[in-house]
Chain A
């Protein structure tokens, strides 16, 4: 079996999980194996949605003890499910929870782990992964020496393709309690927007924004085209009140949106490392020699304070807004 650990949010399958499931379906077909979707929590209501993305079996570990995320409790659920089902491949999306629990589960299974992969395939019945290293400056093809093979998929890279599966349900035992660590409280960010790592459209600002308050024009553009706002390290470190969670780059978030618009960003190697996996790149910069233009599919040489509001106007006029 190919097993995919899935996450629910407000009773709905998270998009990165749907992407991982779709990829799992493709691999299961290639390997001639069934696809299992695995859920854990106090309630797994909504898990039936996994059948839409090809799950043959939906496994649920439902218990009050799993109400709050616990690294060791969830690792137990995952590792036990892999063993019980004799799964040879364990996948999850490279989300905050996925990146926390999957390596722990892999170690328990004595399994090799490829994190944040951008391509997967079955070669002679074994999993092969391609993953960015040096923050995307290179790609490593990774194979596995272990019987169980574990990987997390980078959000926004694998298409979430609907393909109906049988979706037979099966309940799993949940660990009793006495966990080594538990999440006690979630401090939610006010905006409630999707995270940069999952965003389809990103509008980023750099030192050329001159002040944190000026990010308002980027917010307006992002709102008009269904995006979220990111920043370069120079902007985050400038003391403009921008949180580090907005930083894109080698020491910030590595993103792969469909569209990345860089405003007043020069294109330093560490910034490029974080966004060169974007499908389309737009650069707006007053310096026609800025290195960011080497990367850009579309370049605008101009003053961002003039161009960005015009873009917002043009987008609104066309009634644009992406998903």
Chain B
């Protein structure tokens, strides 16, 4: 079985967002970069499948030099090899999907694992778009995955709880928190990763469909007020304010 895992490098969740001089992107100064948390579940699942039934796991990222950190970490965690598709990072999720599809097509992947959304971009779109471009099955926001003989069974999170999706391999599966508990890299893994090289390729040309023209910070919320008195008085004041001022009720 051959598994491809798509990993995106994203700003740490602690990041205070500053808009860059171009007015349309994130100012990268002082940003700490991490692997998107959902992609960690995707990678962990691939490694568990490899340990369970045997598989070749290829880690892939679209980006610049910095994205190599994400791939080095994936190698340390147990990926067999890693590929960096060099792109300028300017495209949208559709452009990324086209680049990964161009790379993965005809390589015989049985399973492509992604995060259900890239932290920050928050599109939750690359996986289903990739599935469509490759003409394969998809299952998104997955908290449980079982593989059969050329088939998969996955539990997917929905509004009312969850649902079971069944389909044929090859498939694109996007991971949600709960799928597994990602491991930490071992010293042995880190040492072994040092001996592996990251294959670097130019990403195939792609056409973005959605273009960000401006990035802005949300408006400041107006100053609020504290409600005084004992608990009963505070509770009364709040319910009255919500009813009469905010007109929530």
Q: Which residues of A contact B (CB under 8 A)?
A: 69, 71-72, 75, 95-97, 99-101, 103-108, 110-116, 129, 131-146, 179-189, 192, 194-195, 197-198, 201, 225, 244-245, 250-252, 258-259, 269-270, 273, 276, 279-282, 288, 293, 295-303, 306-307, 310-311, 313-315, 318, 320-322
Contacts and interface: CB of A to CB of B under 8 A. Distances in A.
A144 to B, nearest CB: 6
Contacts of A192: 160
Contacts of A197: 159
Interface in B137-164: 137-141, 153, 155-164
A115 B248 contact: no
Given A112-B208, A113-B94, A139-B218, A244 B128 contact: no
Interface string B13-31: 1111101000010100000
Given A142-B210, A181-B165, A298 B224 contact: yes
7 closest cross-chain pairs (CB), A and B: A112-B209, A181-B167, A189-B161, A310-B235, A112-B210, A180-B137, A195-B159
Nearest to A111: B209
B236 interface: yes
Contacts of B221: 276, 281, 295, 297
A270 B13 contact: yes
18 contacts: A107-B133, A108-B132, A129-B210, A133-B122, A135-B120, A138-B215, A138-B216, A181-B167, A186-B164, A187-B162, A188-B160, A195-B160, A201-B248, A259-B248, A279-B246, A281-B224, A282-B242, A320-B243
A213 B156 CA distance: 27
Given A104-B132, A311-B239, A276 B218 contact: yes
Contact of B248 (A137, A182, A258): A258
SS class, residues of chain A in contact with chain B: mixed
A225 B249 CA distance: 8
B124 interface: yes
Interface of B: 11, 13-17, 19, 24, 26, 37, 92-94, 97, 119-125, 127-133, 136-141, 153, 155-168, 171, 177-178, 207-218, 221-222, 224-227, 231-232, 234-236, 238-239, 241-243, 246, 248-249
